[in-house]
Amino acid sequence: MLPKLLIIVGATGVGKTDLAIRLASQMRGEIVSADSRYFYSGMDIGTAKPSAEQLRQIPHHLINVTTPDSPWSLALFQERASQVIREIHSRQKVPLLVGGTGQYIRAVLESWHIPELPPDPALRAILTCWGETIGAVQLHNRLKVIDPAAAERMDASNLRRTVRALEVIYSTGRRFSEQSRRSELLYDVMTIGLRRPRPELYARIDERIDVMIADGLVDEVSQLLRLGYQQGLPAMSAIGYREIGDYLAGKATLDEAVMLIRRNTRKYIRRQSNWFKEIDPEIHWFDMEPDPQAEIIRIVHTWLHE
């Protein structure tokens, strides 16, 4: 029998963290974060990390595991996540892989063989210069022509990711989307999808952004910049940090920055749906209203004892 792995997915702001903690407490579970924004210490408010109280309730893994100037690759995440899942199984507990970063969840779920292509600084510099000249969106459009599947799953404004995809393509002569090969499944998986109506989700996001500002997001970004974590770092391009960084640099007003955070978060939510579709028969979808906890526990309990 394959070891069990419970996966919880859903859009940003849908309520994954709270429900995952409640589920884990009912089934001797431990949570493995698959949110790429949670890796970085010092980036707490803008990423809506679990609170200190939530982290005390249930063991959490892969949160605050690196600094903003030491980014984690997809391959490194996959390696560490797989290791943590094995350790949880060794304690006779249930691992819950929780997050909204679809690529990271798929890499673990499908045991991707990720090519370890070393960076090519010269090629990367050329591609970055090209992107800065024509604009991130236009460079993304070039990627879309070469590798539509890769482009579809990337933020058109994320110059770093577009450059990396093109770097891999030009270095290997193969599409970026074809180079993460799937292997045989290592786990007996149940995937729970959480959803809310889009207007309700957007309203929750708007409220959360207001709370972030009130809780000191501007001070958090300012502190990171004072520590030497400059805006050009991949971690600092996360939604919220990029926009507030522009505000602190005098490139936008605070109201403009908040408006962009709202807009970019909504775009991100729409991209998340490309990874986990409601027509996917492998995902058990639940509406968050009314509270689905009892029904989820029922089906998970049945699955755990199969």
Q: What is the model's pLDDT at position 167?
A: 87
Domain 121-178 class in CATH: mainly alpha
Q: Give the homologous superfamily in CATH for domain 4-114+182-304.
A: P-loop containing nucleotide triphosphate hydrolases (3.40.50.300)
- Looking at residue 274, its pLDDT comes to 80
Position 150 scores a pLDDT of: 81
**Spatial distance between the Cα atoms of 27 and 47, rounded to a whole number of angstroms:** 27
Residue 81's Cβ-count burial label (10 Å; 0-12, 13-18, 19+) is buried
Q: For the chain, where do the domains classified as CATH 3.40.50.300 start and end?
A: 4-114+182-304
DSSP 2-38: PPEEEEEEE-TTSSHHHHHHHHHHHTTEEEEE--GGG
Neighbours of 299 (CB within 10 A): 14
pTM exceeds 0.85, yes or no: no
Residue 157: per-residue pLDDT = 76
All CATH 1.10.20.140 domain ranges of the chain, comma separated, are: 121-178
CA 183 to chain centre: 22
Contacts (Cβ under 8 Å, ≥6 apart) of 86: none
Which pLDDT tens digit goes with each residue over 209-241? 999 999 999 999 999 999 999 988 989 999 999
Measured between alpha carbons, how far is 169 from 144 in angstroms, rounded to an integer?
A: 12
Which residues of the chain fall short of a pLDDT of 50? none
Cis omega (within 30 of 0) on the bond before 95? no
Could you report the per-residue pLDDT of 99-156, keeping only the tens digit for each? 988 888 988 988 777 666 667 788 888 998 998 899 988 999 999 999 998 888 777 8
Q: Cα-flanking dihedrals φ and ψ of residue 235, to 5°?
A: -65, -35
Check: CB of residue 192 under 8 Å from CB of residue 6. Answer: yes
Structure tokens at 232: 């050009």
Contacts of residue 147, defined as CB under 8 A and 6 or more positions apart, other chains included, come to: 165, 169, 175, 176, 177
d(CA 202, CA 68): 28
Write down the residue that tokens 């819950």 correspond to. 96
